[in-house]
Amino acid sequence: MKKVTLALAATLALALPQMGYAQKPAADHAAAQSKTSTTAMADGEVRRIDKDAKKLTIRHGPIESLSMPPMTMVFQVRDTALLDKVNTGDKIRFNAEKISGGYQVTEIETVK
C-alpha cells in the first residue's frame, strides 16, 4: 500500500509542474478571447459582399486589436457562413485578425 502511495505521489510531483506550465498560455488565451469577443469588437458597415472570393468590404471604425484607424477596406472571411449572415448596408460589429495575406474577419454580428 505504501509503495502505491509513493508511486502516486511521485507521479503527481512530476505532473504538477507540467500542469502549471501548461496553464499559463491557456489563461492568456482566455483573457485575450474575452477581450476580443465583446469589448474590442469593431463597428462597421457592409459595403460589398463577394461570396466567390470569400471577401467582404467593410467601412469600419477604429479596430483597437489591430491598431487600425477608421477606413473602408476589403477583408477575407474565415468562413463563408459569415457572409450569409449579412447584407450590403448592414451595420455590424466584427472581429478581425491579421493573417499572412491581409486581414480576416473571424466573427460578425449584425446591429439592429
What is the contact surface with Cu ion in residues (CB under 5 A)? 68, 71, 73
Q: How far is the CB of 50 from Cu ion (least distance, A)?
A: 17
* Nearer to Cu ion (CB atom), residue 11 or residue 72: 72
CA 54 to each of CA 28, 70, 75: distance values in angstroms, whole numbers, following the listed order: 30, 22, 9
- As to burial, measured by CB atoms within 10 angstroms (0-12 exposed, 13-18 middle, 19+ buried), residue 16 is exposed
* Closer Cβ to Cu ion, 7 or 71, answer by number: 71
Q: How far is the CB of 68 from Cu ion (least distance, A)?
A: 4
CB of 60 to Cu ion, least distance (A): 6
Contacts of 69 (CB under 8 A, 6+ apart): 62
